Amino acid sequence: MSRALGMVVGLEIHLQLKTNSKMFCSCSTEFAAPANTNTCPICLGWPGTLPSLNQRAVFFGLQGALGLNCDINLESWFDRKNYFYPDLPKGYQITQYQKPLGYNGTFRVGKKDFAIQKVHLEEDAGKINYINGNMEIDFNRAGIPLLEIVTEPEISSPEQARNFLRELRLFFLYLEISDCNMQEGSLRCDANISMRKVGEELSPNQVELKNMNSFQAVARALEYEGKRQSKILNEGGLIKRETRGWDGGKQKTYFLRSKEQGVDYRYFSEPDLPPVLLKQEFVNSVMGNLPRQPVERQKKWTEEWEIGEEEAAVLIAQKPRAEYFEKTACFAPPQEVAKWIKENLLQFDFPLEIPPEDLADIINRVGVGELSSTKGKEVLQLALETRKKPGEIIREKGWKQVSDEEFIKQIVEKVLQENPEVVQDYLSGKEKAIQNLIGKAMKISEGRANPRLVGNFLASKLKERENNG
């Protein structure tokens, strides 16, 4: 008989910090540089060299840890994690093991707070590339600062894992401490997964999943692994403690290595680096200056400004877009601004080429009926192309919407005269024919007539004819 099993997932996220130079030397962190050009005796681990700590990496790490509501170790230090692997030039990785920068944090996704076990700094390893059957090692990545975030095993479905990662990525993008580019490897995620019955202890035999290069892949790998483990357990088997990779082509996990023996990394504190000492006042000031987070912004938009959830999600997806939206919303009704951005401007890079006040100006002119919405969009287009002020464009083009009654009356008469068959349609009961007539009137006025007044005039003229007929 098969048992209902629940999934227990913990995530380990590695984030490359957006510093210009590496963690312990002055080599560049540029992504696209030719292989092994961003290297020096320090990051290549030559004997006799000494590391010196990148202050900015610590600052970014502190921002990350504080943003995740962690407690901060005012004194933390680095350790050596000893193991042999070809991409590790020193034979050890410098990481924070005994005293992480931050611990005991939380991160909110939707209505749930997920516990963060720890946040610590470490250096990246080099990269192994397989080219034409050869193994080539690129040490450009060796020594790039990483922030590792370890969650408690509290995630209970592939969907939850994906949402967590999406929100976490957005959070780091708003902090501006990483590019968070999964394709370029500046955001990487491993997952520990095991299955258990409700109320059962967490199994020590967790399977670690690696090589997932998108959030979609993480979700798929967890789903596959959940089914695989459930099947084994339901057939009376045992799950082995192992590391498995994700094969995106076959949509399967596969065995990478066993963890049966457990690796002894012989950790000890790094003798070449002093401890990282932080003053409480400094930590407080970093905390006080954290940029406003996406969740906070969205809450304000939806609750105070009454922006729809869907529009808010579109606006929040990129920080420059969100900031441009907020600035524009200082000068025009936020709901209108949100609608304009969503309907007309998503294909552009933000901040837009025109100042927020100018976009607001166009929106307001449409709002008070000075411009038709069609003409408003044209003004926007021209403002983006020419960088001219909306007022100037409208003056030059003579696009001010006309509400002059005499002008509109003349146009309406003309339309009625020229389109007897449409009028007949309307009089014989096809009410929608009036839209056709409004369209024709707008065309004659080159979009300048106030469409609401045109509609009103047409309706009353048609009514007259109805009564006379």
d(Cα 93, Cα 274) in Å, to the nearest integer? Answer: 16
Check binding of 23 to Zn ion (CB under 5 A): no
> Which of the stretches 36-44, 210-218, 346-354, 440-448 binds Zn ion when contact is defined by CB under 5 A?
36-44
| Shorter beta-carbon distance to Zn ion: residue 42 or 217 | 42
Helices (H), 143-292: 158-175, 215-234, 280-288
Taking CB under 5 A as the criterion, the residue among 13, 15, 25, 191 binding Zn ion is: 25
Radius of gyration from C-alpha coordinates of the chain? 31
Taking CB under 5 A as the criterion, the residue among 7, 9, 27, 383 binding Zn ion is: 27
| The token pair that represents 216 in the structure block | 């979609």
> Which of the stretches 17-25, 131-139, 298-306, 402-410 binds Zn ion when contact is defined by CB under 5 A?
17-25
| The token pair that represents 174 in the structure block | 């708003």
- Of 305, 459, 452, the C-alpha closest to 368 is 452
> CA-CA-CA-CA torsion for 60, 125, 102, 173, nearest 10 degrees?
40
Check binding of 454 to Zn ion (CB under 5 A): no
Residue 38 Cβ vs Zn ion, minimum distance, rounded to whole Å: 7
SS3 for 159? Answer: helix
| Shorter beta-carbon distance to Zn ion: residue 52 or 381 | 52
* Residue type, position 132, single letter: N
Burial 242-274, CB ≥16 within 10 A → b, else e:
bbbbbeeeeeebeeeeeeeeeeeeeeeebeebe
Residues 6+ apart with CB under 8 A from 406: none
Residue 41 Cβ vs Zn ion, minimum distance, rounded to whole Å: 7
Check binding of 315 to Zn ion (CB under 5 A): no
> Which of the stretches 35-43, 237-245, 391-399, 404-412 binds Zn ion when contact is defined by CB under 5 A?
35-43
| Shorter beta-carbon distance to Zn ion: residue 9 or 27 | 27
d(Cα 28, Cα 19) in Å, to the nearest integer? Answer: 9
**Is residue 399 within 8 Å of 365, Cβ to Cβ?**
no
SS3 for 26? Answer: coil
Residues numbered 114-133 forming contacts with Zn ion, rule: CB under 5 A: none
Residue 84 Cβ vs Zn ion, minimum distance, rounded to whole Å: 21
Structural element, H or E, at residue 380: helix 373-386
| Shorter beta-carbon distance to Zn ion: residue 25 or 412 | 25
Residue 39 Cβ vs Zn ion, minimum distance, rounded to whole Å: 6
Taking CB under 5 A as the criterion, the residue among 7, 15, 43, 209 binding Zn ion is: 43
Check binding of 40 to Zn ion (CB under 5 A): yes
Instruction: Annotate each residue in 44-73 with x if it binds Zn ion (CB under 5 A) or - if it does not, as one string.
Output: ------------------------------
d(Cα 332, Cα 364) in Å, to the nearest integer? Answer: 6
| Shorter beta-carbon distance to Zn ion: residue 25 or 191 | 25
What are the residues binding Zn ion (CB under 5 A)?
25, 27, 40, 42-43
